Structure 1
Amino acid sequence: MEKVAELSGGGDDQVRFAQADLLIDTGELDRAEELLGKLQEPTYARLLRGRILLARGDAKGALEQFDQGIRAWPNNAGARFLAGQAALELGDFDRAVSELREAVRVDNAGTEAAHLLLRLHYGRGEYDEAVRFGKVAARRRGARLDDIFVVGVRAYTELEAWDDARATVASLAQVKGQERTALLELARLERRATGPAKAAEVILGAELDLGDPANVDALEMLSENLAADGKGGDALARVDAAIAKHPEVAELQRLRGDLLFGAGRDADARVAYAKANELDPKLASALAGLATLRAREGDVGGAIEGFDAAAELAPGVTTYAYSAAQLTLTQGKSEAAEARLREIVKRDAGHAGARN
C-alpha cells in the first residue's frame, strides 16, 4: 500500500484512507494518525479518527466521530458497523443493534454485522432473531461458518427445533476441520432432545481414543453425560484411566475435580484441582474449581479472588467474572457488583445475566 502511495505521488484520499485503515488493523495508530492531516475529504478523516479512538479505548469519542461520518455518508456499511461496535462498548445494546442491522441492509457482504447480530441475539435469548441473522451471515463470502453453525445449532436447540438443529450439525461437519466440533454439538443437542444416555452414545459411537489428551473435550462431555445418567462411577473410572496414561495433563486432573465436586466429595475435588493447578498454574478452570469450593465453604472473599484470577487468565470466559460479580453482590456491595457487571457487558454485550 505504501508503494502504491509512493507511485501515485503520495496517493489520493482513497489510497491514504486504505493505508491508514491497514495501519489501524496492525496497531500502528500513531502512523495512521499522521495520515489524517493529509486527507482532503473530512468524512474519511472522521471515520479514521473514530477507528483510532475506538482502538485506544475511547468508545464515546469514537461514536461521536462515526455519527458525524454517518450523517455525511449514511449508506456506508463499514461506518454503521463501527458505530455498532462503539455502541456495544458503551453498553447501548439497542443503538448497536440498530447500526448493525443498517450495515446488513446496506451491504451484508461488506462487514461481519450479521454474524455479530447472530451472537448478540443468541446471548440475549432471542433465538428466532439469532437464527434469522445466522442465515444471513452464512451467505457472506468468507463467513466464519464454523462459529455461525455452532451458534445456529444452539439457537435451534433452545427453540427445540430438533430437525433444524441436526441439519445444522450436518452442515458444520462439512466445514473442513470441524468434524469433532460437530460431534460435540450433536451430543449437546441430543442431551436436550433425548437425554444424557443418548448424548453419551453419540460420543462412544465416534470410537475416539478417549485416553488421548487431544480428546479431553470429548471425554469431558462423555463424563458429564454418564454422571447425569447415574453412572458417575463409570465416568470417574474413564477419567482415572486417562490420567494413568497421561498424569502430566492438567485438564484431566481438573475434569476429575469436577466429577468429584459433583459427587459431593469436596476434599477429594480440592486435591484434584490443586494438582491441576500445580501442573498448569495458568489453567483458569482449575482456579475456578478451587474458587467454587471456597464459595461453598463460605469463604466469599477467597472465592472472589479465585474467580478474578481465573477471569484474568481467560478473559473470554465471562462466567468467571460473572461469578465474582454475583458473590460481590452477596457481600452487600451493590455498586461494586454493578461495576463488575458493566465490565462484563462491555466484553460480552449479549450476556443475559450481566445485563439483568
Structure 2
Amino acid sequence: MNRHLRPFALLLAMTIVFALQLPIAGCGPSDPLDAIKQAQAEGRMEQTIEPLRELIDERPGDAEVLFIYGRTLSATGRAGLGEWSLREAMRDPDWMMSAGMQLALDSARAANYVSAISVATEMLEADPDSIPVLTIRASSYVHSRMHNEEALADANRVLELDPDNLEIMEPKILALIGLERIDEVGVAMEEMGRKVDSNELGRGVTAWYCATTAIFAEESGDIPLAESRWVNCLEGNPSDPEMVLKAVRFYDGQGRFDRSEEIFRVVLEAKPNNRTVRVNLASRLRESERAEEAETMLRAATESEKISLAAAAWMDLAKHFQAVERYRDAAVAVGEAFALAESIGPPDASMLLEYADALSIAGRYDESLALADRMTHEPHEEMIRARVAQEQGNFKVALEHFGRAFQLWPDNPFARYYGALAAESVGNFDLALEQYKYSVRIAPGATDARTRAAKIHRAELRPGLAIQILRIKAHENALEPEGEILSYELWAVTNRSREIEASLAKIRSAAPTYIGEALASVAKGIRSKAGSAAAVASLNRAGRIDPEDLNYAEAIRALVEYGHESGALDDLPELIAKAQAAHPDAATLREIAARDLELGGGSDDDVRAAFNDVLEIDPDNARALSGLGRLATKAGDHEEALASYSRAASTSESETAASVDAARALLALGRASEAVERLVAVVEFAPIHAVASGLLADQRLADGNSDEKTLDYAMRAVRFGRTVDDLDRLAKVFTARGDSEQAGATTERANNLREAQKTGESQSETEDESVAS
C-alpha cells in the first residue's frame, strides 16, 4: 500500500501521557519553572521560549529545563531547534525516556526515520519491553519502507505484551503489505475490526481504521468497494481533515475531480473554519485557472471575528498571492496578519520570519532588514539577511549568512534550499547539490529541491543520480509537475520501463492533462539513449497517442521533431490531420502543423503564413513567434528576428531559448552589450544553461577579459554542455590566464572527443569524463 494516513497521529496522546508519568523534580514554590509551567498550562507556549532560554543559561545541564524547552519548541512548530536540548536531556537517566520519546516522535514527524529508530533503540536498551517505544520504533521501521521485517517483529512483541493493543495494528498491517503477505493483511484487518468494534475509541482511531479499509480495497483493485467504504468514512467523519484529504486522493485517482471539489465544499459549508480544507480547495482552484475564486474564498476567511483565525487566513491569502507571483500583495497580506497578531501580544518568531521574508521577496528590503534587527532568534536573523542579499543579487554575501544559518539551524529545509539557489547563482554547483540534498533529507516535499538537484545531475549526464534523488519519497511527498515529467525522461534513459508504464497508466486516469508531456519526456529520454528513430517508435506504439485528445499535443510535437530528424514520417500526416480535425481552432495544434511544414521543407512564405495564422488565435504563442524569428534569421533580417524572438521571450521568463536567440540576433547587429545583458539574465534564471554561459565566455574573451567570471562561464558550458566547442573555449580561457597545464589537458580532451565523433561514438563527453576544476 502506498497511501495511508499520516504516521504517528495515534501515538501523540499516548506519548504525552507517557511523558507525564515520569518524575518531575527540582521545583520549589519560587522556582521560575513554576511560572513557565503555569503559562504553558494556559496555552501561552510561545511566550515561554525566551524565559526557558534564560533558564538554560542559568542552569546548564538541568535535564528538566532542557526537556521542557525541547518539548515547547516542538509544540510551537520548531522541533528541529529543540533536538539538541532533548539529546542533552537524554543524558540524565531520569529524563532519558521522556526526552527520548519526544525526540523520536519529532524525528518521525519530519520523516527522519533513521533518527527515530536510533533514539527508540537507545531507549529500548534501558527498557526492552516499553510498549510506547516499541510502537514508535515499529512505526518508524515501516514508514522507512526498508525494515518491514523489523517492524513486524516489534509489532508482534507489543501484541505479546498487550494482546488488546490497537495502536500497533497500523504498523503491523503496513509491514505485512510491504512484505506482500496479502492473506495475512486480510486477517490483521479483521482482527483490528474486532478490536475497533469492541472498544469505545476516539474518532482518530476509528477514522484511521475506516480509511485503511477503503485504501486496502482500492489497492486490491476493488474500486466499487473502495468507493462504498469512502462514502461511509466521510459520513462518519465528515470534517476530519486527514479523512477528507485521503478520500479526495481516491477520487482524484479515478479522475473524478468534480467529486473531490464537491467534498471540499461540503466540508467548508459545514465547518467554515476548517483551514486545511480551505487551503487545499484554494490550491485546486488555482491549478484549474480559477485563481480569482480562490482569492475570494480566502479573503472571506480574513473577516473572522476571532483574531487568531483572521490572522491565519491572512497568512493563507499571502501564500496564495505568492503562488500566483503577486509578491507585493503577499507582503501586504502578511502585514495584516502581523498587525492582528501584534494586537493581542508579541507575534511569535515564526510570523516575524514570514513577514520579513515576504517583504524581501516584494523588494521592500529596508523594512525586511528592520524586522531582522528586531529578531531575538539568531538563525532567523541570519536567514533574513541572507534572503535580502539573495534578492538583491549579492549571492556571495547571501552564502555567508546562509552558512551561519546552517550552523545555527541545521535542519531547516528552506535555509538549505535557498542556500543552494545562491550557490547555483555563483557557479558553485557542488555546494548547491550538497544543500539541495540536505533539504531533501530534512523534508522531501517542502520545496522543489529534488527537481533542481535532478536537473543539475541530468545536465551533467548523470541520469542515475538524477532519478535517484528525484524519486526520494515521491510516493509520500508528490513532486511538482515539472519534476514528475522529468521522471519519465530519466526512467527512459535508465531503462526503467516498468516505472514508465505504471506511471503512464496512473497519469492517464489521475492527471490526463499531463499525458502528452509525459510521453514526450519518455521520447526525449529514448532519443538521448538510442536515437530519434527509437523515440518515434516509442511514440507510435499502438494506442499511445490519441490524436483527438488535445492533451496529447506535446506528444505529437515530439513526433514531428523526431520524425523529421530520423526520417520516420509514415504516419505523421494522418495523425496531424486527425488532431486538427478534432480541434480546428487549437493554436497549439496549428503551431505544430506549421513546424511540421517548416521541417518538411515548405516554402518560407507558406511557413510564415502558417505561423501568423497561429498568432491570429494566440498572439503570445512563443513557439510561433520563435518560428518567425527563425525565418527572419534565415533571410538575414536580424532586426525582424530580434523583434520576434524578443516577443517570444517576453511571454515567460522560462523561454530561455528565445532569449538566447534574441541575444544572437543582437550580436549579429553589433549590439554586444545588449546581447550580454540578455544572456546574463538567462544565466541568472537558469544557472546551468550551457549555451548562454558559453556565449558569455566568448564575449568576455573577445573583450580581452579572462578573469574568474570568464572562467566560471566557460566551465559551466563544459560541465553542462561538453561539446568540442565548449572544450576548445575553455582551453582558450586557460591559455589567456597563463595556465598552460590546464590548457593542454583541456585541449587533449577536445581532441579525444573529435576522434570519437569521427567514428560516430559520441557527440559530447560522457558522464565518465571529468570536469575541469
Measured against the shorter chain, the TM-score band is 0.7 to 0.9
Instruction: Sort the Cα spacing of 1:128 and 1:25 in 2 relative to 1 into closer, same or farther, 3 A.
Output: farther
Q: In 1, Cα distance between the equivalents of 2:486 and 2:445?
A: 20
Which of 429, 433, 447 in structure 2 is aligned with 1:93? 429
8 A Cα contact 2:590 2:610, kept in partner: yes
Q: 188-197 or 141-150, which moves further after superposition? A: 188-197
Q: Looking at CA atoms only, which structure, 1 or 2, has the larger radius of gyration?
A: 2
Aligned to 2:598: 261
Cα deviation, residue 99, structure 1: 3.1
Q: In 2, Cα distance between the equivalents of 1:169 and 1:344?
A: 35
Per-residue CA distance 1:259-284 (angstroms, 9 max, x = gap): 11112212211110111122211111
8 A Cα contact 2:423 2:431, kept in partner: yes
Give matches, 1:105-184, under 5 Å.
108=444, 111-136=447-472, 138=474, 141-144=476-479, 146-158=481-493, 161-162=494-495, 164-171=496-503, 173-174=505-506, 176-177=510-511, 180=515, 181-184=517-520
8 A Cα contact 2:666 2:675, kept in partner: yes
Give matches, 1:298-313, under 5 Å.
298-313=636-651
8 A Cα contact 2:360 2:388, kept in partner: no
Per-residue CA distance 1:174-213 (angstroms, 9 max, x = gap): 35315724444444455564625523423x51462x2454
Flag the structure with more relative contact order, 1 or 2, with Cα contacts below 8 A and sequence separation at least 6: 1
Q: Secondary structure in 2 aligned to 1:205?
A: coil
Q: In 1, Cα distance between the equivalents of 2:580 and 2:448?
A: 42
Give matches, 1:35-114, under 5 Å.
35-55=371-391, 59-104=395-440, 108=444, 111-114=447-450
TM-score by length of 1: 0.79
8 A Cα contact 1:97 1:117, kept in partner: yes
Amino acid at match of 1:270: R
Aligned to 1:314: 652
Per-residue CA distance 1:27-71 (angstroms, 9 max, x = gap): 595776664343222331221233344446554554443244335
Q: Secondary structure in 2 aligned to 1:316?
A: coil
Q: 130-139 or 117-126, which moves further after superposition? A: 130-139
Aligned to 2:105: none
Instruction: Sort the Cα spacing of 1:349 and 1:169 in 2 relative to 1 into closer, same or farther, 3 A.
Output: farther
Amino acid at match of 1:264: G
Q: Secondary structure in 2 aligned to 1:314?
A: coil
8 A Cα contact 2:545 2:555, kept in partner: no
Cα deviation, residue 20, structure 1: 4.6
Give matches, 1:238-253, under 5 Å.
238-240=575-577, 242-243=579-580, 246-253=583-590
Q: In 2, Cα distance between the equivalents of 1:342 and 1:44?
A: 31
Q: CA RMSD in A?
A: 3.7
Gaps (5+ residues) in structure 1?
none
Amino acid at match of 2:663: A
Instruction: Sort the Cα spacing of 1:14 and 1:321 in 2 relative to 1 into closer, same or farther, 3 A.
Output: closer
Cα deviation, residue 100, structure 1: 2.6
TM-score by length of 2: 0.40
Q: 313-322 or 130-139, which moves further after superposition? A: 130-139
Structure 1 residue 278 corresponds to structure 2 residue 612: no
Q: In 2, Cα distance between the equivalents of 1:245 and 1:237?
A: 12
Amino acid at match of 1:151: L
Q: Secondary structure in 1 aligned to 2:374?
A: coil
Q: Percent identity?
A: 26
Q: In 1, Cα distance between the equivalents of 2:670 and 2:360?
A: 43
Amino acid at match of 1:308: S
Cα deviation, residue 289, structure 1: 0.3
Q: Secondary structure in 1 aligned to 2:654?
A: coil
Instruction: Sort the Cα spacing of 1:48 and 1:237 in 2 relative to 1 into closer, same or farther, 3 A.
Output: same
Amino acid at match of 1:263: G
Aligned to 1:201: 540
Amino acid at match of 1:93: F
Structure 1 residue 235 corresponds to structure 2 residue 567: no
Q: In 2, Cα distance between the equivalents of 1:351 and 1:124?
A: 11
Aligned to 1:16: 352
Q: Secondary structure in 2 aligned to 1:323?
A: helix
Q: In 2, Cα distance between the equivalents of 1:172 and 1:19?
A: 41
Q: In 2, Cα distance between the equivalents of 1:207 and 1:112?
A: 30
Q: In 1, Cα distance between the equivalents of 2:363 and 2:636?
A: 48
Q: 70-79 or 305-314, which moves further after superposition? A: 70-79
Structure 1 residue 290 corresponds to structure 2 residue 635: no
Amino acid at match of 1:38: R
Per-residue CA distance 1:139-159 (angstroms, 9 max, x = gap): 6x433165334323323444x
8 A Cα contact 1:125 1:352, kept in partner: no
Q: Secondary structure in 1 aligned to 2:471?
A: helix
Q: 345-354 or 65-74, which moves further after superposition? A: 65-74
Q: In 2, Cα distance between the equivalents of 1:155 and 1:270?
A: 36
Q: How many equivalent residue pairs?
A: 349
Per-residue CA distance 1:283-305 (angstroms, 9 max, x = gap): 11110000011111222332233
Per-residue CA distance 1:117-140 (angstroms, 9 max, x = gap): 11222234332331232233636x
8 A Cα contact 1:124 1:352, kept in partner: no
8 A Cα contact 2:352 2:371, kept in partner: yes
8 A Cα contact 2:492 2:526, kept in partner: no
Cα deviation, residue 340, structure 1: 3.2
Q: In 2, Cα distance between the equivalents of 1:77 and 1:213?
A: 38
8 A Cα contact 2:486 2:521, kept in partner: no
Cα deviation, residue 228, structure 1: 4.9
8 A Cα contact 1:311 1:317, kept in partner: yes
Q: In 2, Cα distance between the equivalents of 1:9 and 1:25?
A: 24
Aligned to 2:62: none
Amino acid at match of 1:133: I
Instruction: Sort the Cα spacing of 1:103 and 1:34 in 2 relative to 1 into closer, same or farther, 3 A.
Output: same
Q: 71-80 or 283-292, which moves further after superposition? A: 71-80
Instruction: Sort the Cα spacing of 1:289 and 1:110 in 2 relative to 1 into closer, same or farther, 3 A.
Output: closer
8 A Cα contact 2:626 2:648, kept in partner: yes
Q: Secondary structure in 2 aligned to 1:350?
A: coil
Amino acid at match of 1:201: N
Aligned to 1:340: 678
Per-residue CA distance 1:67-123 (angstroms, 9 max, x = gap): 443354455443222111123334443443343344445665655433321122223
